[in-house]
């Protein structure tokens, strides 16, 4: 076909050490359910003796974090923030419509294509929510995790909107809400 793809190669030994086999399989299952132009597309998956491979849509434009910090001045112009935010929100809404909480919304997990359109990627922490249930497992990235996750309380879809708010702030300000670029965020700072 002449189409180009990206391959996410997951080392089986490393997955076993970190007890990540079930998470990798869950990511594959979630990607198979997804049908949105705002989320990376899984073309197919296969495994070798040493790796599990997820073959996905190629996104040549780099990640959103790179654009925030390395293209021109830190932060993005208002029009770009609105443009990217609308696409990201469409991706999150699609996940929620199929009962999935993303749990790892951050600029680093938003990939751009050659035309400047973006898609959510890295659904390794995403989880399906059963009807009326909540989640209690801690997952995400400090600085983007909602206070209820950090406090180890039960949570659901709203945690993705907290992370989206942090990401919009970062796109505008050129820094995360809790620390400047490359500074480490302690979980106690977000709990407050």
Same domain, 27 and 67: no
Q: Supply the range of the domain harboring residue 36.
A: 5-57
pTM: predicted TM-score of the whole model, two decimal places? 0.88
- Residue 191 is predicted with a pLDDT of 55
Most confident among 12-16, 44-48, 187-191 (mean pLDDT) = 44-48
Question: Looking at residues 54-80, what average pLDDT do you find?
Answer: 92
Q: How many separate domains does the chain show? A: 2
pLDDT in tens, 23-66: 788 888 999 999 999 999 999 999 899 888 999 999 999 999 99
Is residue 72 included in any domain, yes or no?
A: yes
Same domain, 102 and 162: yes
Assign 3-class secondary structure to the chain: CCCCEEEEEEEHHHHHHCCCHHHHHHHHHHHHHCCCCCECCEEEEEECCCEEEEEEECCCCCEHHHHHHHCCCCCCCHHHHHHHHHHHHHHHHHHHHCCEECCCCCHHHEEECCCCCEEECCCCCCEECCCCCCECCCCCCCCCCCHHHHCCCCECCHHHHHHHHHHHHHHHHCCCCCCCCCCCCCHHHHHC
Same domain, 100 and 169: yes
* From 104, 113, 114, 131, active-site residue: 104
Same domain, 69 and 51: no
Same domain, 69 and 136: yes
**Could you tell me which residues are beta bridge partners of residue 135?**
155
Same domain, 83 and 11: no
pLDDT in tens, 142-179: 889 999 998 999 999 999 999 999 999 999 999 999 87
Residue 24's CATH number? 3.30.200.20
Instruction: Check pLDDT > 80 for residue 112.
Output: yes
Same domain, 70 and 159: yes
Same domain, 76 and 166: yes
Is residue 158 included in any domain, yes or no?
A: yes
Same domain, 77 and 166: yes
Same domain, 69 and 93: yes
Same domain, 53 and 135: no
- Clarify whether 131 is annotated catalytic: no
Same domain, 19 and 92: no
Is residue 183 included in any domain, yes or no?
A: no
């Amino acid at each position: 076909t002449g189409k180009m793809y990206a391959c996410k190669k997951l080392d089986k030994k490393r997955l076993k050490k970190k007890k990540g086999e079930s998470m990798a399989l869950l990511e594959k299952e979630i990607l198979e359910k997804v049908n949105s132009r705002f989320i990376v597309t899984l073309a197919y998956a296969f495994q070798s003796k040493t790796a599990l491979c997820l073959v996905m849509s190629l996104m040549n434009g780099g990640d959103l974090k790179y654009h925030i910090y390395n293209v021109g001045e830190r932060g993005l112009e208002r029009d770009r923030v609105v443009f990217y935010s609308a696409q990201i929100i469409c991706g999150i809404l699609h996940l929620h419509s199929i009962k999935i909480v993303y749990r790892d919304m951050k600029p680093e997990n938003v990939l751009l294509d050659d035309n400047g359109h973006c898609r959510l990627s890295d659904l390794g922490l995403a989880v399906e929510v059963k009807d009326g249930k909540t989640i209690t497992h801690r997952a995400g990235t400090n600085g983007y995790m909602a206070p209820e996750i950090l406090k180890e309380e039960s949570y659901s879809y709203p945690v993705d909107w907290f992370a989206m708010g942090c990401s919009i702030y970062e796109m505008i300000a050129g820094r995360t809400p809790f620390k400047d670029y490359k500074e480490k965020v302690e979980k106690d700072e977000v709990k407050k």
